Protein backbone atom coordinates (compact mmCIF):
# COMPACT_ATOMS: atom_id res chain seq x y z
CA UNK A 1 0.00 0.00 0.00
CA UNK A 2 2.21 2.79 -1.27
CA UNK A 3 1.87 5.97 0.76
CA UNK A 4 0.20 4.29 3.72
CA UNK A 5 1.37 2.45 6.77
CA UNK A 6 0.33 -1.18 6.56
CA UNK A 7 -2.50 -2.52 8.74
CA UNK A 8 -1.22 -3.53 12.14
CA UNK A 9 -2.77 -5.44 14.99
CA UNK A 10 -4.36 -8.79 15.72
CA UNK A 11 -6.04 -11.18 13.30
CA UNK A 12 -7.02 -14.67 14.47
CA UNK A 13 -6.27 -17.62 12.24
CA UNK A 14 -8.95 -17.93 9.57
CA UNK A 15 -9.89 -14.25 9.70
CA UNK A 16 -7.25 -13.06 7.24
CA UNK A 17 -9.89 -12.11 4.60
CA UNK A 18 -10.90 -9.19 6.85
CA UNK A 19 -7.32 -7.95 6.90
CA UNK A 20 -7.21 -8.26 3.11
CA UNK A 21 -10.44 -6.29 2.70
CA UNK A 22 -9.20 -3.65 5.15
CA UNK A 23 -5.95 -3.30 3.18
CA UNK A 24 -7.91 -3.12 -0.07
CA UNK A 25 -9.86 -0.10 1.19
CA UNK A 26 -6.55 1.74 1.56
CA UNK A 27 -5.18 0.46 -1.75
CA UNK A 28 -8.24 1.88 -3.51
CA UNK A 29 -7.69 5.27 -1.86
CA UNK A 30 -10.90 5.12 0.16
CA UNK A 31 -9.27 5.39 3.59
CA UNK A 32 -6.71 7.72 5.14
CA UNK A 33 -6.76 6.30 8.68
CA UNK A 34 -9.10 3.63 10.02
CA UNK A 35 -9.68 0.78 12.43
CA UNK A 36 -11.78 -2.38 12.39
CA UNK A 37 -12.55 -4.84 15.19
CA UNK A 38 -14.69 -7.98 15.35
CA UNK A 39 -15.80 -10.35 18.09
CA UNK A 40 -17.20 -13.80 17.28
CA UNK A 41 -18.85 -15.92 19.95
CA UNK A 42 -17.43 -13.64 22.61
CA UNK A 43 -13.85 -13.81 21.39
CA UNK A 44 -11.84 -11.04 19.74
CA UNK A 45 -10.98 -12.16 16.21
CA UNK A 46 -9.84 -8.92 14.55
CA UNK A 47 -8.37 -5.67 15.89
CA UNK A 48 -6.64 -3.71 13.13
CA UNK A 49 -5.51 -0.13 12.55
CA UNK A 50 -3.89 1.38 9.51
CA UNK A 51 -3.09 4.51 7.56
CA UNK A 52 -2.49 8.00 8.81
CA UNK A 53 -3.65 10.09 11.76
CA UNK A 54 -4.49 13.08 9.55
CA UNK A 55 -4.50 14.33 5.96
CA UNK A 56 -0.95 15.67 6.39
CA UNK A 57 0.23 12.13 7.24
CA UNK A 58 1.92 13.52 10.35
CA UNK A 59 1.95 10.18 12.13
CA UNK A 60 0.51 6.66 11.82
CA UNK A 61 -3.06 5.82 12.74
CA UNK A 62 -2.22 3.35 15.50
CA UNK A 63 -3.59 1.72 18.63
CA UNK A 64 -3.26 4.99 20.53
CA UNK A 65 -5.53 6.83 18.08
CA UNK A 66 -9.06 7.83 19.07
CA UNK A 67 -11.80 8.62 16.55
CA UNK A 68 -15.01 10.64 16.62
CA UNK A 69 -17.78 8.46 15.15
CA UNK A 70 -20.78 10.77 14.69
CA UNK A 71 -24.07 8.81 14.82
CA UNK A 72 -22.41 5.51 15.60
CA UNK A 73 -22.62 7.05 19.09
CA UNK A 74 -26.40 6.54 19.03
CA UNK A 75 -26.05 2.79 19.47
CA UNK A 76 -24.12 3.20 22.72
CA UNK A 77 -26.79 5.61 23.95
CA UNK A 78 -29.46 3.03 23.03
CA UNK A 79 -27.58 0.44 25.10
CA UNK A 80 -27.56 2.79 28.09
CA UNK A 81 -31.33 3.25 27.75
CA UNK A 82 -31.78 -0.53 27.49
CA UNK A 83 -29.80 -1.00 30.69
CA UNK A 84 -32.22 1.35 32.45
CA UNK A 85 -35.09 -0.76 31.10
CA UNK A 86 -33.43 -3.92 32.43
CA UNK A 87 -33.11 -2.30 35.86
CA UNK A 88 -36.81 -1.45 35.98
CA UNK A 89 -36.13 2.29 35.89
CA UNK A 90 -37.68 2.84 32.48
CA UNK A 91 -40.27 1.23 30.23
CA UNK A 92 -40.27 1.55 26.44
CA UNK A 93 -44.09 1.66 26.54
CA UNK A 94 -44.44 4.42 29.14
CA UNK A 95 -44.93 8.09 28.33
CA UNK A 96 -41.78 10.21 28.33
CA UNK A 97 -43.58 12.74 30.53
CA UNK A 98 -43.89 10.16 33.31
CA UNK A 99 -40.15 10.47 33.83
CA UNK A 100 -39.68 14.02 32.53
CA UNK A 101 -42.79 16.06 33.43
CA UNK A 102 -41.69 19.22 31.61
CA UNK A 103 -41.65 17.24 28.37
CA UNK A 104 -45.47 17.20 28.34
CA UNK A 105 -45.55 20.85 27.21
CA UNK A 106 -46.94 21.88 23.82
CA UNK A 107 -48.93 18.72 23.17
CA UNK A 108 -46.20 16.14 23.84
CA UNK A 109 -47.73 14.51 26.90
CA UNK A 110 -48.62 11.25 25.16
CA UNK A 111 -45.33 10.62 23.33
CA UNK A 112 -43.93 7.28 24.47
CA UNK A 113 -40.34 6.33 25.11
CA UNK A 114 -40.59 3.96 22.15
CA UNK A 115 -41.72 6.76 19.84
CA UNK A 116 -38.92 9.01 21.03
CA UNK A 117 -36.26 6.32 20.52
CA UNK A 118 -37.56 5.38 17.06
CA UNK A 119 -37.52 8.95 15.73
CA UNK A 120 -41.33 9.25 15.71
CA UNK A 121 -41.61 12.11 18.24
CA UNK A 122 -41.38 14.98 15.73
CA UNK A 123 -38.49 16.66 17.52
CA UNK A 124 -35.79 16.38 14.87
CA UNK A 125 -34.73 19.99 15.39
CA UNK A 126 -35.44 23.04 17.55
CA UNK A 127 -37.71 25.98 16.95
CA UNK A 128 -35.93 29.26 16.33
CA UNK A 129 -32.28 30.30 16.15
CA UNK A 130 -29.70 28.37 18.11
CA UNK A 131 -25.93 28.56 18.49
CA UNK A 132 -23.35 25.84 19.07
CA UNK A 133 -22.84 27.19 22.59
CA UNK A 134 -26.58 26.80 23.27
CA UNK A 135 -26.48 23.22 22.01
CA UNK A 136 -23.43 22.34 24.11
CA UNK A 137 -25.18 23.47 27.30
CA UNK A 138 -27.19 20.46 28.46
CA UNK A 139 -29.77 22.42 30.45
CA UNK A 140 -30.40 24.86 27.61
CA UNK A 141 -30.90 22.32 24.83
CA UNK A 142 -33.01 19.88 26.85
CA UNK A 143 -35.23 22.71 28.16
CA UNK A 144 -35.82 23.97 24.63
CA UNK A 145 -36.75 20.52 23.38
CA UNK A 146 -39.07 19.96 26.34
CA UNK A 147 -40.87 23.26 25.76
CA UNK A 148 -41.44 23.13 22.02
CA UNK A 149 -44.23 21.64 19.94
CA UNK A 150 -43.52 18.64 17.69
CA UNK A 151 -42.54 19.40 14.09
CA UNK A 152 -44.83 16.61 12.86
CA UNK A 153 -47.67 14.75 14.58
CA UNK A 154 -46.01 12.21 16.90
CA UNK A 155 -46.46 8.67 15.65
CA UNK A 156 -47.66 9.76 12.21
CA UNK A 157 -44.30 9.11 10.55
CA UNK A 158 -40.63 8.97 11.45
CA UNK A 159 -37.87 11.48 10.74
CA UNK A 160 -34.23 11.12 11.73
CA UNK A 161 -33.48 13.01 14.96
CA UNK A 162 -29.82 13.31 13.93
CA UNK A 163 -28.66 15.38 16.90
CA UNK A 164 -31.70 15.76 19.14
CA UNK A 165 -32.03 12.00 19.72
CA UNK A 166 -29.02 12.08 22.01
CA UNK A 167 -30.19 14.92 24.23
CA UNK A 168 -33.68 13.43 24.46
CA UNK A 169 -32.52 9.89 25.25
CA UNK A 170 -29.73 11.17 27.47
CA UNK A 171 -32.09 13.29 29.54
CA UNK A 172 -34.33 10.26 30.01
CA UNK A 173 -31.36 8.33 31.40
CA UNK A 174 -30.43 11.23 33.67
CA UNK A 175 -34.00 11.53 34.98
CA UNK A 176 -34.41 7.85 35.87
CA UNK A 177 -30.87 6.99 36.97
CA UNK A 178 -30.80 6.68 40.76
CA UNK A 179 -27.73 8.95 40.89
CA UNK A 180 -29.05 11.30 38.17
CA UNK A 181 -25.83 10.85 36.21
CA UNK A 182 -25.36 12.40 32.80
CA UNK A 183 -25.39 10.05 29.83
CA UNK A 184 -21.63 10.39 29.43
CA UNK A 185 -21.02 9.59 33.09
CA UNK A 186 -23.43 6.64 32.93
CA UNK A 187 -21.58 5.26 29.90
CA UNK A 188 -18.19 5.72 31.59
CA UNK A 189 -19.22 4.11 34.87
CA UNK A 190 -21.64 1.40 33.71
CA UNK A 191 -20.40 0.41 30.23
CA UNK A 192 -16.88 1.39 29.24
CA UNK A 193 -15.32 1.38 32.71
CA UNK A 194 -16.37 -2.19 33.59
CA UNK A 195 -15.37 -3.39 30.10
CA UNK A 196 -12.08 -1.51 29.99
CA UNK A 197 -13.20 -0.04 26.66
CA UNK A 198 -11.88 3.29 25.38
CA UNK A 199 -15.01 5.17 24.35
CA UNK A 200 -16.37 8.45 25.71
CA UNK A 201 -19.36 10.72 25.29
CA UNK A 202 -17.66 13.82 26.62
CA UNK A 203 -13.91 13.30 26.17
CA UNK A 204 -11.56 14.01 29.12
CA UNK A 205 -9.02 16.67 28.16
CA UNK A 206 -6.03 14.41 28.76
CA UNK A 207 -7.02 12.33 25.70
CA UNK A 208 -7.60 15.22 23.28
CA UNK A 209 -4.24 14.94 21.51
CA UNK A 210 -5.08 11.34 20.58
CA UNK A 211 -8.17 12.31 18.52
CA UNK A 212 -7.75 11.96 14.77
CA UNK A 213 -9.44 14.89 12.99
CA UNK A 214 -12.31 14.17 10.63
CA UNK A 215 -11.44 14.77 6.97
CA UNK A 216 -14.39 16.12 5.01
CA UNK A 217 -15.42 14.42 1.80
CA UNK A 218 -14.79 16.35 -1.41
CA UNK A 219 -18.02 17.52 -3.04
CA UNK A 220 -19.19 15.35 -5.96
CA UNK A 221 -17.74 16.41 -9.31
CA UNK A 222 -20.92 15.50 -11.15
CA UNK A 223 -23.22 18.57 -11.02
CA UNK A 224 -26.30 16.35 -11.25
CA UNK A 225 -25.28 14.44 -8.12
CA UNK A 226 -24.34 17.67 -6.35
CA UNK A 227 -27.76 19.18 -7.12
CA UNK A 228 -29.48 16.01 -5.91
CA UNK A 229 -27.56 16.19 -2.63
CA UNK A 230 -28.49 19.84 -2.16
CA UNK A 231 -32.13 19.09 -2.92
CA UNK A 232 -32.12 16.34 -0.31
CA UNK A 233 -29.90 17.90 2.36
CA UNK A 234 -29.34 21.58 1.57
CA UNK A 235 -30.49 24.59 3.65
CA UNK A 236 -34.23 24.64 4.20
CA UNK A 237 -34.67 20.86 4.04
CA UNK A 238 -35.65 18.73 7.01
CA UNK A 239 -32.33 16.90 6.63
CA UNK A 240 -30.35 20.14 7.01
CA UNK A 241 -32.40 21.16 10.03
CA UNK A 242 -31.84 17.77 11.66
CA UNK A 243 -28.21 17.12 10.72
CA UNK A 244 -26.95 20.63 11.47
CA UNK A 245 -29.48 21.78 14.10
CA UNK A 246 -30.79 24.75 12.12
CA UNK A 247 -27.29 25.36 10.78
CA UNK A 248 -25.56 25.70 14.16
CA UNK A 249 -23.22 22.78 13.38
CA UNK A 250 -22.78 23.56 9.68
CA UNK A 251 -19.06 24.10 8.90
CA UNK A 252 -18.36 27.73 8.09
CA UNK A 253 -16.06 28.74 5.20
CA UNK A 254 -12.37 28.76 6.14
CA UNK A 255 -13.13 27.28 9.57
CA UNK A 256 -12.72 23.75 10.82
CA UNK A 257 -15.80 21.64 11.44
CA UNK A 258 -17.25 22.15 14.93
CA UNK A 259 -16.78 18.39 15.38
CA UNK A 260 -13.01 18.86 15.18
CA UNK A 261 -12.98 21.28 18.12
CA UNK A 262 -12.17 20.68 21.77
CA UNK A 263 -15.45 22.34 22.84
CA UNK A 264 -17.53 19.75 20.97
CA UNK A 265 -15.32 16.86 22.08
CA UNK A 266 -15.66 17.91 25.72
CA UNK A 267 -19.45 18.29 25.65
CA UNK A 268 -22.06 15.53 25.70
CA UNK A 269 -23.85 15.08 22.38
CA UNK A 270 -25.01 11.46 22.82
CA UNK A 271 -26.22 11.27 19.22
CA UNK A 272 -23.04 12.38 17.54
CA UNK A 273 -19.83 13.06 19.50
CA UNK A 274 -18.77 9.67 20.83
CA UNK A 275 -15.00 9.26 20.62
CA UNK A 276 -13.10 6.00 20.93
CA UNK A 277 -11.80 2.98 19.07
CA UNK A 278 -13.20 0.23 16.90
CA UNK A 279 -12.01 -2.28 19.49
CA UNK A 280 -14.03 -0.53 22.20
CA UNK A 281 -17.21 -0.39 20.12
CA UNK A 282 -16.96 -4.04 19.08
CA UNK A 283 -16.42 -5.05 22.71
CA UNK A 284 -19.44 -3.03 23.84
CA UNK A 285 -21.68 -4.72 21.28
CA UNK A 286 -20.23 -8.14 22.10
CA UNK A 287 -21.26 -7.53 25.72
CA UNK A 288 -24.87 -7.02 24.62
CA UNK A 289 -24.83 -10.61 23.33
CA UNK A 290 -23.08 -12.44 26.18
CA UNK A 291 -20.77 -11.75 29.12
CA UNK A 292 -17.42 -10.24 28.12
CA UNK A 293 -14.87 -10.10 30.95
CA UNK A 294 -17.80 -10.86 33.26
CA UNK A 295 -19.90 -7.97 31.96
CA UNK A 296 -23.21 -8.39 30.11
CA UNK A 297 -24.93 -5.13 29.21
CA UNK A 298 -28.41 -6.23 28.05
CA UNK A 299 -30.74 -9.06 28.96
CA UNK A 300 -32.03 -11.28 26.18
CA UNK A 301 -35.55 -9.90 26.55
CA UNK A 302 -34.49 -6.26 26.29
CA UNK A 303 -32.16 -7.02 23.39
CA UNK A 304 -34.96 -8.74 21.48
CA UNK A 305 -37.32 -5.81 22.03
CA UNK A 306 -34.70 -3.21 21.19
CA UNK A 307 -33.67 -4.82 17.89
CA UNK A 308 -37.21 -5.23 16.57
CA UNK A 309 -37.98 -2.74 13.80
CA UNK A 310 -40.93 -0.56 14.74
CA UNK A 311 -40.90 1.97 11.89
CA UNK A 312 -43.29 0.97 9.07
CA UNK A 313 -41.76 -1.15 6.32
CA UNK A 314 -40.66 0.98 3.37
CA UNK A 315 -41.68 4.27 5.00
CA UNK A 316 -39.59 7.17 3.73
CA UNK A 317 -37.72 8.99 6.48
CA UNK A 318 -39.17 12.51 6.82
CA UNK A 319 -35.63 13.91 7.14
CA UNK A 320 -33.40 11.54 5.16
CA UNK A 321 -36.05 10.99 2.43
CA UNK A 322 -34.90 7.40 1.86
CA UNK A 323 -36.43 4.53 3.88
CA UNK A 324 -34.77 4.06 7.28
CA UNK A 325 -35.45 1.41 9.92
CA UNK A 326 -35.40 1.87 13.69
CA UNK A 327 -35.97 -0.13 16.82
CA UNK A 328 -35.43 1.16 20.35
CA UNK A 329 -32.69 3.64 19.51
CA UNK A 330 -30.88 1.26 17.19
CA UNK A 331 -30.93 1.49 13.42
CA UNK A 332 -31.99 -2.03 12.52
CA UNK A 333 -31.22 -3.97 9.35
CA UNK A 334 -32.59 -2.15 6.33
CA UNK A 335 -31.80 -0.30 3.12
CA UNK A 336 -29.59 2.25 4.87
CA UNK A 337 -28.07 -0.28 7.26
CA UNK A 338 -27.55 -3.70 5.64
CA UNK A 339 -24.96 -4.84 8.22
CA UNK A 340 -24.62 -8.65 7.94
CA UNK A 341 -28.27 -9.22 7.10
CA UNK A 342 -31.56 -9.61 8.95
CA UNK A 343 -31.73 -9.25 12.71
CA UNK A 344 -28.76 -6.95 13.26
CA UNK A 345 -28.89 -3.86 15.46
CA UNK A 346 -26.46 -0.99 15.77
CA UNK A 347 -25.88 2.37 14.12
CA UNK A 348 -23.86 3.86 11.26
CA UNK A 349 -22.28 7.30 11.50
CA UNK A 350 -21.89 10.15 9.01
CA UNK A 351 -19.04 9.54 6.62
CA UNK A 352 -18.82 5.79 7.04
CA UNK A 353 -18.27 4.52 10.59
CA UNK A 354 -20.52 1.76 11.94
CA UNK A 355 -20.90 -0.58 14.89
CA UNK A 356 -23.46 -3.37 15.25
CA UNK A 357 -24.26 -6.81 16.61
CA UNK A 358 -25.54 -9.76 14.61
CA UNK A 359 -27.08 -12.14 17.17
CA UNK A 360 -27.78 -15.01 14.80
CA UNK A 361 -24.16 -14.98 13.65
CA UNK A 362 -22.80 -14.19 17.14
CA UNK A 363 -20.83 -11.27 15.66
CA UNK A 364 -20.02 -7.82 17.04
CA UNK A 365 -18.46 -5.51 14.45
CA UNK A 366 -17.04 -1.98 14.43
CA UNK A 367 -15.31 0.17 11.84
CA UNK A 368 -14.10 3.74 12.42
CA UNK A 369 -12.27 6.13 10.11
CA UNK A 370 -11.17 9.73 9.61
CA UNK A 371 -11.84 10.06 5.86
CA UNK A 372 -15.52 10.81 5.37
CA UNK A 373 -17.44 9.68 2.30
CA UNK A 374 -20.43 11.38 0.68
CA UNK A 375 -22.72 8.37 0.71
CA UNK A 376 -25.83 8.25 2.87
CA UNK A 377 -25.82 4.47 3.06
CA UNK A 378 -23.99 1.31 2.03
CA UNK A 379 -20.48 2.71 2.45
CA UNK A 380 -18.30 0.56 0.17
CA UNK A 381 -15.63 0.16 2.85
CA UNK A 382 -18.00 -1.48 5.33
CA UNK A 383 -19.68 -3.45 2.56
CA UNK A 384 -16.26 -4.91 1.69
CA UNK A 385 -15.45 -5.70 5.32
CA UNK A 386 -18.84 -7.29 5.97
CA UNK A 387 -18.52 -9.39 2.82
CA UNK A 388 -15.20 -10.67 4.15
CA UNK A 389 -16.83 -11.56 7.48
CA UNK A 390 -19.62 -13.41 5.67
CA UNK A 391 -17.08 -15.35 3.62
CA UNK A 392 -15.54 -16.58 6.87
CA UNK A 393 -18.60 -17.45 8.94
CA UNK A 394 -20.77 -18.67 6.04
Average pLDDT, the chain: 96
> In percent, how much of the chain has pLDDT > 90?
91
Q: Which of 71, 212, 337, 353 is catalytic?
A: 71
Domain 8-76+186-393 has CATH 3.30.2420.10: no
Residues 64-110 pLDDT 10s: 999 999 999 999 999 999 999 999 999 999 999 999 999 999 999 99
What pLDDT is stored for residue 4 in this prediction? Answer: 59
What pLDDT is stored for residue 374 in this prediction? Answer: 85
What pLDDT is stored for residue 225 in this prediction? Answer: 79
Residue 3 has pLDDT above 80, yes or no: no
- The answer to pTM > 0.85 is yes
Q: How many CB atoms lie within 10 A of CB 387?
A: 13
Q: Looking at residues 380-391, what average pLDDT do you find?
A: 97
Which 3 state secondary structure label does DSSP give 10? strand
CA within 13 Å, CB half, 79: 29
Q: How do 43-51 and 199-201 pair as beta strands? A: unpaired
How many helices, marked H, and strands, marked E, lie in the chain?
15, 11
Q: Which of 7-16, 62-71, 211-220, 222-231 has the lowest mean pLDDT?
A: 222-231
Q: Roughly what angle, to the nearest 10 degrees, separates helices 16-27 and 380-393?
A: 160
Q: How do 66-68 and 8-11 pair as beta strands? A: unpaired
- Triad 35, 38, 40: Cα angle to 5°: 175
What pLDDT is stored for residue 2 in this prediction? Answer: 43
Any idea how long the chain is? 394
What pLDDT is stored for residue 251 in this prediction? Answer: 86
**Domain ranges for the chain:** 8-76+186-393
> In percent, how much of the chain has pLDDT > 70?
99
Residue 168 has pLDDT above 80, yes or no: yes
Task: Clarify whether 71 is annotated catalytic.
Answer: yes
Residues 275-324 pLDDT 10s: 999 999 999 999 999 999 999 999 999 999 999 999 999 999 999 999 99
Query: What DSSP element (H or E) covers 183?
Result: helix 183-187
Residue 120 has pLDDT above 70, yes or no: yes
Between residues 23 and 218, the one the model is more confident about: 23
| Gyration radius from the chain CA atoms | 20
Q: Looking at residues 170-176, what average pLDDT do you find?
A: 98
Amino acid sequence: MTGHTSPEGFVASGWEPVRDAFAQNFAEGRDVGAGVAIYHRGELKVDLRGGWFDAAQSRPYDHNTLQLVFSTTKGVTAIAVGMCVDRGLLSYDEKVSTYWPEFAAAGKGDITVAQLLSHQAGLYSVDGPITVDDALDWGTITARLAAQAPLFTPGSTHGYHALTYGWLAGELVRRVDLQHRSLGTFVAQEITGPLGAEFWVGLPEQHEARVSPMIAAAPPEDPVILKMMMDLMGPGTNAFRALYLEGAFFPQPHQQSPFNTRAVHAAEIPAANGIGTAAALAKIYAATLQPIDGVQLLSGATRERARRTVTPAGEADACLVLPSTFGMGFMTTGFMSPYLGDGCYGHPGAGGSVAFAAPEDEIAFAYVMNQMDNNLANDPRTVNLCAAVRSIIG
